[in-house]
């Protein structure tokens, strides 16, 4: 499925995609604030922490009802728990990593340990030198066993870091195995069934965008 759908569904409401992308950021900073002893915060104060303007924060929060109190602001713990429920932070999701090259190895080392409710529980590769080994605490399986392991372990999310020439074929196998979401690090835009959600991460494209803004900012300054 493409990323053309602009809204997400939560609690029976349509939440704009841009708002949905900011929710994990709100959650992370609220947790940091709570751990540092902050018990309440205004949208203006939260704006300084997350670097979104206060009007955007208030608009985002308004999709979920009255989360704050006029003259008081927001209760940090209550707000963090609210967004934690929406993001399903209490349930640890198992993730499959497909492709243990340089990028895949870096993701294994990171493994979302303290930043998410997800963890890589199985990895797959074609390299016989690493198949049937443990890398960063994660078992590496042969891609021949992809469908069996995903189904046996009831994994619903996969990270795809394979070469572009096998990305579509691998995505099809993942969909047939029951994967519901793919974090796609390949440059290929995948053709998958509509019930499979794909999030594309193009590091080259993001770097080019950054360089574009740097170069144009410098031109404006001159």
* Fold adopted by 93-205: Rossmann fold (3.40.50)
Return the pLDDT at 4.
37
Q: What are phi and psi of 9, to 5 degrees?
A: -100, 130
Buried b (16+ CB within 10 A) or exposed e, 112-122: eeeebebebbb
Q: Does the domain made of 7-86 have the CATH classification 1.10.150.120? A: no
pLDDT at 25: 87
Return d(Cα 125, Cα 78) in angstroms, integer.
43
pLDDT, tens digit only, all 222 positions of the chain: 333 334 444 544 578 888 888 888 888 889 888 889 999 999 899 998 888 999 999 899 988 887 877 767 899 999 988 888 887 766 678 899 999 999 999 999 887 755 567 889 999 999 999 999 999 889 999 999 999 999 999 999 999 999 999 999 999 999 999 999 999 999 999 999 999 999 999 888 888 888 888 888 755 555
Decide: 23 and 87 in contact? Cβ < 8 Å: yes
Give the Å distances, CA to CA, from 38 to 9, 30, 66, 185: 31, 9, 20, 37
181 is in an annotated binding site: no
Answer yes or no: is 84 a known binding residue. Answer: no
Neighbours of 216 (CB within 10 A): 10
Is residue 99 marked as binding? yes
Domain spans, the chain: 7-86, 93-205
Answer yes or no: is 103 a known binding residue: yes
Torsion of CA 190, 98, 201, 104, to 10 degrees: -150
CB atoms within 10 A of CB 132: 10
The continuous run of DSSP H or E covering 200 comes out as strand 197-200
Q: Does the annotation place 162 within a ligand binding site?
A: no
Query: What is d(CA 23, CA 66) in angstroms, rounded to the nearest whole number?
Result: 16
203 is in an annotated binding site: no
């Amino acid at each position: 499925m493409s990323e053309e759908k602009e809204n997400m569904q939560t609690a029976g409401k349509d939440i704009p995609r841009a708002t949905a992308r900011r929710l994990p950021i709100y959650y992370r900073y609220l947790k940091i604030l709570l751990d540092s002893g902050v018990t309440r915060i205004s949208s203006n104060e939260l704006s300084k922490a997350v670097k979104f303007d206060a009007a955007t924060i208030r608009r985002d929060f308004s999709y979920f009802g009255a989360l704050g109190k006029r003259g008081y602001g927001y209760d940090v713990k209550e707000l963090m728990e609210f967004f934690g429920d929406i993001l399903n932070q209490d349930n640890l999701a198992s993730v499959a990593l497909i492709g243990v090259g340089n990028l895949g190895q870096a993701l294994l080392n990171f493994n979302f340990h303290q930043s998410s409710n997800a963890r890589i529980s199985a990895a797959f590769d074609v390299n016989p030198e690493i198949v049937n080994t443990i890398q960063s605490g994660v078992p590496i399986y042969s891609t021949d066993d992809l469908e069996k392991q995903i189904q046996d372990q009831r994994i619903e999310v996969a990270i795809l870091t394979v070469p572009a020439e096998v990305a579509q074929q691998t995505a099809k196998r993942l969909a047939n195995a029951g994967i519901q979401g793919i974090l796609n690090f390949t440059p290929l835009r995948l053709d998958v069934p509509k019930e499979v959600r794909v999030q594309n991460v193009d590091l080259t494209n993001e770097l080019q965008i950054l360089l574009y803004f740097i170069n144009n900012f410098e031109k404006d300054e001159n």
